[in-house]
Structure 1
Amino acid sequence: MTSADPARVIAIARSWLGTPYHDQASLRDVGCDCLGLARGVWREVVGPEPFPIPPYSRDWGETGPREVLAEGARRMMIEVPPVEAGPGALVLFRMKPRAIAKHVGILTQPDTFLHAYERLGVIEEPFTPSWRRRIAFAFLFPQR
């Protein structure tokens, strides 16, 4: 599987800037959550979503025996070591120690990333050491 052009992924992701936050939605300029942003970018970069996304909780502190989000990403994306993730990569964050990875962002530059945040919508912000420490998994979008 060959990865998609990172510049294209970033341009498409940035076209979602300003989209309001809406839990479990995935419509540019209408509303999305962090996974909805990734799903929308997927549809434009790769094509139709390969399987339906089941409802999920908003609890970033959720624990459990399975990394459901990472398992789903592995089915359709190219996994890379988090330390090798660069611009255009999808990163999954573990927001609390011992919790499963439940937050998603897209790296846009070595020091910035895009994500959907409650009350703020889709924003691009500095990729600080605090965010870097939380990365649990990283994936590349495949080519169409």
Structure 2
Amino acid sequence: MNLIEAEERARVVAAARQWIGTRYQNCADIQGVGVDCGMLLVRVFVDTGLCAPFDPRPYPADWHLHRSEERYLGFIFDRCAEVETPAPGDVAVFRYGRTYSHGAIVTRSDPLTIVHAYYAVKKVTEQRVERDVTLSDPKRARKFFSYWKRA
């Protein structure tokens, strides 16, 4: 990892942590007011200047329960490449319902620690995945993507 990449990754982690405590709200993207997991990713990567502005909204809160289309992965695939082992600043996605539909920003690789807008606690939080029964459940298959490894 070169110095520029290390600085960018640190900016992503710092930006994600600024959202901690923001209430969970579907389709919202206002720090301190409300955000969901997808818009958290958008805001962090767009606001740090790493991605050009884009907006995947509108989407229903329960789209992942009724569709098999990997809609969430679509906007990640366009901007990142899948990696086996995440580093701070990378994106983690978890399977919910039929699709990968929950995303987070990795803040630490070992143990895997993430910042995410988490419906279960109704806010943005930073937590170790292994300490959460839902996220560590094997049926919540997870994948990792890196902005810095894109093709």
Shorter-chain TM range is 0.7 to 0.9
The answer on whether the counterparts of 2:81 and 2:147 sit within 8 Å (CA) in structure 1 is no
CA distance in structure 1 between the partners assigned to 2:60 and 2:51 by the alignment: 26
| Structure 1 match to 2:144 | 138
The answer on whether the counterparts of 1:3 and 1:140 sit within 8 Å (CA) in structure 2 is no
CA distance in structure 1 between the partners assigned to 2:143 and 2:75 by the alignment: 12
* TM-aligned CA distance change 1:3 to 1:68, over 3 Å: farther
| Structure 2 match to 1:57 | 60
* Cα deviation, residue 137, structure 1: 3.0
1:127 equivalent in alignment to 2:133: no
Give the TM-score of the pair, scaled to structure 2. 0.76
* TM-aligned CA distance change 1:47 to 1:36, over 3 Å: same
* TM-aligned CA distance change 1:126 to 1:61, over 3 Å: same
Give the TM-score of the pair, scaled to structure 1. 0.79
Question: Whose RCO is larger (CA < 8 A, sep 6+)?
Answer: 1
* Cα deviation, residue 35, structure 1: 0.8
For structure 1, the residue ranges without an aligned partner over 5 or more in a row are none
Give 1:1-144 correspondences, 5 Å limit. Answer: 5-45=8-48, 46-49=50-53, 51-59=54-62, 60-64=64-68, 66-76=69-79, 78-81=80-83, 83-96=84-97, 99-109=98-108, 110-111=110-111, 112-118=113-119, 119-128=121-130, 131-132=135-136, 133=138, 134-142=140-148
Q: Which runs of 4+ in 1 moved over 4 A?
A: none
% same residue: 28
* Cα deviation, residue 9, structure 1: 1.0
Partner deviation per Cα, 1:66-120 (whole Å, 9 max, x = no partner): 21111211112x2123x31222111111024xx1111111111122111112252
For structure 2, the residue ranges without an aligned partner over 5 or more in a row are none
Q: Which amino acid aligns with 1:127?
A: V
* TM-aligned CA distance change 1:52 to 1:36, over 3 Å: closer
CA distance in structure 1 between the partners assigned to 2:87 and 2:14 by the alignment: 15
Q: What secondary structure is seen at the aligned counterpart in 2 of 1:137?
A: strand
Q: Which amino acid aligns with 1:30?
A: V
Q: Size of the alignment, in residue pairs?
A: 136
CA distance in structure 2 between the partners assigned to 1:122 and 1:137 by the alignment: 20
